[in-house]
Structure 1
Amino acid sequence: GRGPVTWRRGHMTPRGAARPGPAMLSRLLREHQAKQSERREQQERRRREAIAAATSLTEALTDHLNVGVAQAYVNQRKLDHEVKTLQIQAAQFAKQTGQWINMVENFNQALKEIGDVENWARSIEMDMRTIATALEYVYKGQLQPSAS
């Protein structure tokens, strides 16, 4: 072993061991202050790194969101353009459909008139046959000698 231990002012020191002197206490104090200073610098460095990382993350998230917003804006403009084009085409189609309806109605009217002309021609033809038959009857009657 080390030899007997004695108690002095609340400290246990081996008998014959040198008590720390003022130079040693001063050195221990400087080392302690240096370690505390180093710890503070390390904490400050970590704090700055954390702030930089948080700032970087915030910027990255903002950029990502801005890209999404920009894409949504571009998509909205495309949709607006497509809607406008579709409205124009629908109006043109409605106008063309109206023209087709008028054309079909005119065609139906023309067919009706052709049917009327055909009926009129048949009526005239029947009248002409009646007249021809009457004339033929009269003509044949004139050829026969009268019985008077």
Structure 2
Amino acid sequence: MLSRLLKEHQAKQNERKELQEKRRREAITAATCLTEALVDHLNVGVAQAYMNQRKLDHEVKTLQVQAAQFAKQTGQWIGMVENFNQALKEIGDVENWARSIELDMRTIATALEYVYKGQLQSASS
């Protein structure tokens, strides 16, 4: 009877060990599946973040190129406006010079007329 109890006890212990080992393997399998699922889920987010970062980098480069082109074009426009402004000033200077010359010529013409009339009156008297 004692040997039978001992055999039953050993059999139950072996069953428990096998059950415990089976549960341990199932737990390891479940933990592995969970870990893989979490990693896959995180990888999707990381991949999306990486793609977004690449898009942002591309947009930044494009914006920098366009900003440089705009700055260059703006500089050209400023130069053109300054040249136009200078040309207008020169035209104004030429116009003032022409008026001054015209006034001087009228003064000379008036003086010559006056002298000519004076000579005519002297000659006729």
**Which TM-score bucket, shorter chain as reference?**
0.7 to 0.9
Q: Which amino acid aligns with 2:20?
A: Q
Separation in 2, partners of 1:36, 1:147: 162
The equivalent of 2:33 in structure 1 is: 56
Residue 139 (structure 1) shift: 3.9
Further displaced range: 124-133 or 134-143? 134-143
Query: Which consecutive residues of structure 1, in runs of 5 or more, have no partner in the other structure?
Result: 1-23
Could you give the per-residue CA deviations for residues 1-25 of structure 1, whole angstroms, max 9, x where no partner exists?
A: xxxxxxxxxxxxxxxxxxxxxxx44
Could you give the per-residue CA deviations for residues 23-52 of structure 1, whole angstroms, max 9, x where no partner exists?
A: x44443342233112211210111012101
Separation in 2, partners of 1:93, 1:105: 18
Residue 143 (structure 1) shift: 4.7
Tell whether 2:109 aligns with 1:132.
yes
Could you give the per-residue CA deviations for residues 54-99 of structure 1, whole angstroms, max 9, x where no partner exists?
A: 2122212322331232122112211210121012101211210121
Query: Which consecutive residues of structure 2, in runs of 5 or more, have no partner in the other structure?
Result: none
Structure with the bigger percentage of strand: 1
TM-score, scaled relative to structure 2: 0.84
Separation in 2, partners of 1:58, 1:48: 15
Which protein shows a greater Rg? Answer: 1
Alignment match of 1:115 (pick from 79, 92, 96)? 92
Q: Which amino acid aligns with 2:32?
A: T
Structure with the bigger percentage of helix: 2
Separation in 1, partners of 2:124, 2:42: 122
Q: Which amino acid aligns with 2:28?
A: I
Alignment match of 2:23 (pick from 23, 32, 46)? 46
Separation in 2, partners of 1:146, 1:136: 15
The count of corresponding residues between Structure 1 and Structure 2 is: 125
Higher normalized contact order (CA 8 Å, seq sep 6+, divided by chain length): 1
Separation in 2, partners of 1:147, 1:90: 84
Q: Which amino acid aligns with 2:73?
A: Q
Q: Which amino acid aligns with 1:114?
A: I
Q: Which amino acid aligns with 2:40?
A: D
